[in-house]
Amino acid sequence: MSQPDDVRHKGAYGIWFVALLVYLLAVFHRSSLAVAGLAATDRFGISAAQLATFTMLQLLVYAAMQIPVGLLVDRFGPRRVLLTGALTLTVAQAGFAFADTYPLAILARLFVGVGDAMTFICVLRLVNTWFAPRRVPLVTQLTGVIGQLGAIIAAIPMTWALGHLGWTKSYLLAASLGIVFSIA
């Protein structure tokens, strides 16, 4: 049986799909705070400026981690680093669920940024490894577009969960997705 011209290895689409789900999850976690702003200000007794610090810190960590993550991918491979990123996101979201002070919440969001930084680079490396060069641009673009749906997907379930389950259960439920994706 011959392989399609768009893949280098058998199972490329399966590998990409699982990696894409982890990236979608990373965007979900990154965006989950967007609908929880009012709840976060109440929970931690913070101002709007302190609330903005969550996002700013997370993005700064994401940016600062790009070179170290690239080195980790070169050293350990994209699958291991992607798994580490998914586990880091899971633990960080669980920590955010239980955080009851602003400094603990900041620490948890810092690690959300670390886990988030480990995802996209790994997915791109997997795409470059598993797909033929002529297919890489299309799969890369699909990865970016589909992955950003995580931001949209986060809005409805997190809004519902925060309203019906409360802070801790909502963020634990979000963190539990990381367990499922890590197993995959």
pLDDT tens per residue across span 115-124: 999 999 999 9
Comparing 17 with 2, which gets the higher pLDDT? 17
What's the confidence (pLDDT) of residue 110?
96
Comparing 153 with 122, which gets the higher pLDDT? 122
148's tokens: 């950003």
Instruction: Name every residue whose Cβ is closer than 8 Å to that of residue 179 and which is 6 or more positions away in sequence.
Output: 90
Q: Is the pLDDT of residue 1 over 80?
A: no
Taking the model in full, what pTM does it have? 0.87
| CA pair distance 174, 134, nearest whole angstrom | 36
Instruction: Name every residue whose Cβ is closer than 8 Å to that of residue 35 and which is 6 or more positions away in sequence.
Output: 154, 155, 158, 159, 162
What's the confidence (pLDDT) of residue 70?
95
pLDDT-derived band at 3 (thresholds 50, 70, 90) equals: low
What's the confidence (pLDDT) of residue 7?
60
Q: Is the pLDDT of residue 37 over 50?
A: yes
> How confident is the model over 102-131, as a mean pLDDT?
95
Q: Percent of the chain beyond pLDDT 90?
A: 75
What's the confidence (pLDDT) of residue 172?
93
What's the confidence (pLDDT) of residue 6?
63
Q: What is the mean pLDDT of the chain?
A: 91
* 99: helix, strand or coil: coil
Q: Percent of the chain beyond pLDDT 70?
A: 95
Q: Is the pLDDT of residue 102 over 70?
A: yes
Cβ neighbours around 164 below 10 Å, total? 9
> How confident is the model over 33-41, as a mean pLDDT?
89
Find residue 7's DSSP bridge partners: 131
Whether the CB-CB separation of 131 and 55 falls below 8 Å is answered with no
Measured between its terminal Cα atoms, the distance across the chain in Å is: 27
Q: Which of 8, 16, 2, 9 is nearest to 144 (CA)?
A: 16
